[in-house]
Amino acid sequence: MASDLKVIRKRIASVKNTRQITRAMKLVAGAKLRRATEAAMAARPYNEKLNELLADLLSRTEDRSNPLFKKRATVRRIRIVAFTADRGLCGSYNANVAKFVDTMVAEQDGCEVEIVAVGKKIADHARRKQYAIKERLTEISPRDVEIHARELAMAAVRDFERGAVDEVHLVYQRFKSAISQVVVRDLLLPLVVPESATDAQAVSTLVDFIYEPSQSQVIDALLPQVVANRVMTAFLEATASEHAARMTAMDNATRNASDLIDQLTLEANKARQAAITKELVEIVSGAEAL
């Protein structure tokens, strides 16, 4: 009985140590989440206005000669830029993105699929699945996110223009709240003309402008910025979602550890009471024997 009590007390001490770790990780993730959420929320209005500007420009012209608009008649090569974390302990965050990528790859029957893995977890998953990995980006510092986003965007534009890839997709988790994130798939290239740009009634009410050097050159200069901004937005959304998922997972782990400690403490009390009762019975039996 004493041996059982000793084992239970060791388990309680072990679970308490684990609870301290999960609680600390929750606090760290919460601090990072505030900064990441602010960055993601600040990027959304800029992204929306940039898309509105593109739609407004396209609504004033029927020129779609830029190669970034050209949809391939036959899609043979697809690039998937997938975003996950470098580490685990964030619930189903990494697994959900990996499953989504698996589904996408399975749907592309007869097409060559290459993966740009942003995050160690999706890179390891792609390697295990023996997917073609175009590029692997891990351990990215928050200060370098903009640089890597622009490099990924420019590489996608360059390969799309020269025909090395027919479609480019972004797969990441969009941040909704601290307890809710959803995996999304965005078609990065070819660029889709916004619906507002094809609304004839809206076009007829627009006031036109004088463009320098020309309208087509303004659009050509804007399109790479639109692509780069969408990749940057995916980076920020994925980062905020990761910290939210980790904070939630560590909060659940801390709660479960507390529940387990309460359960083990109850078992320890029962074992201690049983040991005391046994000793009392032995003392009474010995006294009666005398």
Tell me the pLDDT band of 208, cut-offs 50, 70 and 90: low
CATH 3.40.1380.10 fits 26-248, yes or no: yes
- Is 111 a catalytic site residue? no
d(CA 65, CA 222): 14
Q: How large a percentage of the chain has pLDDT more than 90?
A: 63
Q: Name the active-site residue from 33, 90, 155, 232.
A: 90
Tokens linked to 260: 């387990």
The candidate with the shortest Cα–Cα distance to 72, out of 162, 171, 138, is 162
Instruction: Quickly tell me which residue has 């993105």 as its tokens.
Output: 97
* The predicted structure's pLDDT at residue 109: 80
State the angle between helix axes of 145-161 and 215-289 in degrees (0 to 180), rounded to the nearest 10.
Answer: 130
d(CA 278, CA 101): 61
Task: Name the pTM for this structure.
Answer: 0.86
Domain locations along the chain? 26-248
Tell me the pLDDT band of 201, cut-offs 50, 70 and 90: very low
pLDDT digits (tens, 9 = 90+) for 32-56: 999 999 999 999 999 888 888 888 8
State whether residue 199 is helix, strand or coil. Answer: coil
The candidate with the shortest Cα–Cα distance to 24, out of 12, 34, 32, is 32
d(CA 57, CA 70): 17
Interacting residues of 149 by C-beta distance below 8 A, sequence separation 6+: 228, 231, 232, 234, 235
Beta bridge partner(s), residue 83: 118
d(CA 89, CA 95): 11
Q: With 70 as the cut, is the pLDDT of residue 18 above it?
A: yes
d(CA 165, CA 81): 13
Contact status, residue 15 vs residue 264, Cβ threshold 8 Å: yes
Answer whether the bond into residue 213 is a cis peptide, omega within 30°: yes
Contact status, residue 173 vs residue 217, Cβ threshold 8 Å: no
pLDDT digits (tens, 9 = 90+) for 68-111: 999 988 899 999 999 999 999 999 999 999 999 999 999 988 89
